[in-house]
A and B are shown apart, each in its own frame.
Chain A
Amino acid sequence: GQNIDQPTEMTATEGAIVQINCTYQTSGFNGLFWYQQHAGEAPTFLSYNVLDGLEEKGRFSSFLSRSKGYSYLLLKELQMKDSASYLCAAMDSNYQLIWGAGTKLIIKP
């Protein structure tokens, strides 16, 4: 079957770095998405990886290893506003999205 795993909850300190991992198993692969979602709001697109490697976008970076079925989202210089849920979603060969349940990130001062 197809599935995605990511931690349910993580806690980090303001100013620090946190890495949110995501492992996936899909029938075929057409890329992996990361979204940020604050409570009561629509998800905000963060990144899309389809090739192996690290993509950096400001304080946020996303890494993909297709052979390992693994991705992570790296957040640097954490700010209180980064407290949110982070959703990982993989697209399969039929261009269907398989979503993780989301990682709730709590930032402490």
Chain B
Amino acid sequence: GAVVSQHPSRVICKSGTSVKIECRSLDFQATTMFWYRQFPKKSLMLMATSNEGSKATYEQGVEKDKFLINHASLTLSTLTVTSAHPEDSSFYICSARDMAGRDSDTQYFGPGTRLTVL
């Protein structure tokens, strides 16, 4: 089945540094990937939709200059948290849509990246 990986799985960084999180579709091509943030009460908030070869579409309230998204190839999207602060500490999850799959609406989710900013 379709597999999505994320790297790193967890990262601890100092306040003010930047952190890059990678999301890869391992056995399919994903023209669209999504980045989510999971809050303590388990809800998932969609941050942005990443489209291969074009600019990401950010949800209202998400700072695009702080959360940089690059979708440079059909199998890789990256989320860079710039000048991270403790309030950015969270669990970030990506998903990818397999446009050639049996159901092009299906999203396949990655395992998540736990970011802790000290």
Contact = CB atoms under 8 A, between A and B. Distances in A.
Interface of A: 33, 35, 37, 39-40, 42-45, 48, 85, 87, 89, 94-99, 101-102, 104
SS of A interface (majority) = strand
Given A94-B9, A102-B106, A45 B111 contact: no
B46 A42 contact: yes
Contacts of B111: 96-99
A16 B113 CA distance: 39
B1 interface: yes
A97 B9 contact: no
Tell me which of A33, A37, A44, A87 has the highest count of chain B C-beta atoms within 10 A of its own C-beta.
Answer: A37
Contacts of A37: 107
B93 A101 contact: no
A35 B44 contact: yes
B11 interface: no
Cβ-closest 7 pairs across A and B = A96-B111, A42-B46, A99-B109, A45-B43, A45-B42, A39-B105, A97-B112
